[in-house]
Amino acid sequence: MMIRSLALIALSAGIVGVAGAETPADFAFARALSTPGESAFYRVELPSAVHEGATRTDVGDLRVFNAAGEVVPYAWLPRATATREARPGVALPMFPLRVARATRDVAGLALAIDQTTSGTSIRVTTQDGKPAAGDRLAGYVLDASAQDEPIVALTIRPQAPTPSFSARVRIEASDDLASWRTVVADAPLLDLEYGGRRLTRDRIEFVPVKAKYWRVSWPGADADIALAAVTAQIGERVVEPPREAHTVKGTAIAGRDGEFDFDVGGAFPIDRVAIDLPELNSVVPAQLYARASAKDEWRPVVSSVFYRLRQPNGEVTSEPVAVAASSQRYWQLRVDPKSGGLGREPPSLRVEWRPRQIVFAARGNPPFTLAYGSGVAQPVALPVATLVPGYDTTKGLPATIGTAAVGPALKAGDAAALRAPVDVKRIVLWSTLVIAALVLGAMAWRLAKQMGSGSRPAGDTGEPPH
C-alpha cells in the first residue's frame, strides 16, 4: 500500500511538472524581423517598444520564433561601450626658412606672418630687425592655427627622390612666433635604402601639445633638407555609441513641496538621466530616487545640481548625469527646499540608454518573429560564447553575422498574457505533497500501533494484575 501511494505521488508530481511549448500567442506583443541573406546567426537591436512591453526588468520574457512557431536560441550581447578612434592626419601649411649660408641655427631669428589678398607669407628677420633672407634652407614654419585640439605627432616627408636620407631635427612650438618652446630637441629622421630594402622613420611622437605655430629645423646640418609635406596627428577621439532617450513630465506629490514622481513607462536600461527645468535662470540642488515597481522602497540614485541659465549666445543647461545602469521604471525627484523651488510647472525627467542587442540562431525557415510581454515566461537566453562558436569577447561577433531589422508590429496574444496566472501546477504539487505527508504520517502511526500490539508477551492481556 505504501509503495502504491508513493508511486501515485511521484506520477502526480511528474504530470504537474510537464510544461507546454511556447507559441507567439503566449506573448502580448510581437514584431516582424527582416533577415536579409542566408546567415547562420543574426544580430538585432531592440527598439524601445520592447522595454515598454516587457514584464520583467531584465527583459527575460523575450523570445524569437521561426516561421513554424518554434523558439530559436538567442543570447544577449555585451553592452556597447565608448571606443577610441584615431583621427586622420592633417597636412599643415608650410613656410620655408631661408637664411644666410653662415647661419647655423634659427633660434636667433624673428618671424612675422604677412597676410595679403594673394596669400600668407612668413617674414624672417634678425633680432635687430634686419632681413635674414639667404640661400640656405634652415627649416620650416608650420601653421596649425586652424587646429583646436592638441597635436601628438608630426609625420615629416622629404621631397622625392631621396635614395638615402638621414638627419636629426628639432621641433618647437609657439603661439606668437616670438617665444618658442622646445618639444623635441633631437629626433632622428631616416629614409634609407639598401639591398632592395627600405628603412623609414618619418613620424616623431611627443606628449600632446596645443600651439598655433610649429617650427621644424635641423641645426648644424650641412645639406639642405627639402620637405614635401608635414602631417599633424591629432589625438584619438572618444566615440560614444548611439543612444536613445525618453522624456516624461513629472507629477507633483500632494502635500510634499519640491517632490515629483515620474513613470518612464518601461524597463529601459538607463545609464544617464537629466532634469529639464521649466523656467529659465533656475539652479536646483536635488536628489533622484528610483524603484522597479510601485511596491518597492525608494532607493537613492544620484545627487546633483540641475540648472537652466540664460546666456548671451543662448541657453545653457546641465549635462545628463551618469548613473549605474539599471532598469528602474519609477523615479522621484526631491528638491532641496533651500533652493527656492522650481516654479509653477513640474520638471521633466529625461532618461538615456544605449540600445541592447541580441544575436539569434536562424534555425528553421524565415520569417522570424520577435515576441515579448509575458507574465509567465522565464529567461532562456544562452551565454553568447555558448551560442556563437568561436566568439571572442575582445573582437566581438564575427563579420559573417548578419544584421536583422525590426519590422512592424504583428498580431500576437492579448493583454491577458501580461498577467501572471494562478499557478495551478504549483498549488496541485504542494497539495499533493501535503496530502502525501499526511498519508505517510497516518500509515506510520498505524504501523507503529500494530507493532506495539504484536510485541506483548504470551498471556499478557494488557490489563494490570489483580
End-to-end CA distance of the chain: 42
CA distance 57 to 267: 5
Q: What DSSP line would sit under 239-274, residue for residue?
A: EPPP-EEEEEE-EEPTT-TTEEEEE-SS---EEEEE
Q: What is the pLDDT of residue 22?
A: 87
CB 130 within 8 A of CB 272: no
Strands (E), 292-412: 299-311, 314-317, 321-326, 330-335, 348-353, 357-361, 368-372, 402-403, 405-409
What is the rounded distance in angstroms from the CA atom of residue 152 to the CA atom of residue 436? Answer: 78
Domain extents in the chain? 29-82+357-418, 90-238, 244-353, 420-449
Which pLDDT belongs to residue 275?
Answer: 94
Q: How far apart are CA 124 and CA 112, in angstroms?
A: 7
Look up residue 382 and give its three cell numbers: 544562452
Ramachandran angles phi, psi of 176, nearest 5° = -135, 5
Q: What is the rounded CA–CA span in Å between residue 193 and residue 445?
A: 102
Please indicate whether the domains covering 90-238 and 244-353 agree at the CATH topology level: yes
Q: What is the pLDDT of residue 88?
A: 86
Residue pointed to by grid coordinates 505521488: 9
Quick one: pLDDT at residue 422?
52
C-alpha cell at 273: 538621466
Give the pLDDT score at 226.
86
Average pLDDT for consecutive 10-residue bins of the chain (466 residues)? 42 40 90 93 94 92 94 92 80 84 62 61 59 73 89 89 75 88 89 76 91 87 80 83 91 91 93 92 92 92 92 86 90 87 88 94 94 92 92 85 92 71 64 81 79 59 53
Helix pair angle (2-17, 424-454), 10° resolution: 170
Please classify residue 319 by burial: count the beta carbons closer than 10 Å to its beta carbon, then call 0-12 exposed, 13-18 middle and 19+ buried. Answer: exposed
User: What's the CA gap between 389 and 273, in Å, rounded?
Assistant: 37
d(CA 25, CA 375): 13
Instruction: Give the CA count within 13 Å in the CB-facing half-sphere of 187.
Output: 21
Homologous superfamily of 244-353? Galactose-binding domain-like (2.60.120.260)
Predicted pLDDT of residue 222: 63
User: The CATH number of 90-238 is which of 3.40.50.1220, 2.60.120.260, 3.40.50.2300, 2.60.120.370?
Assistant: 2.60.120.260
Residue 432: strand pairing partners: none
Q: Residue 301, Cβ neighbours under 10 Å: how many?
A: 20
Report pLDDT for 420: 61
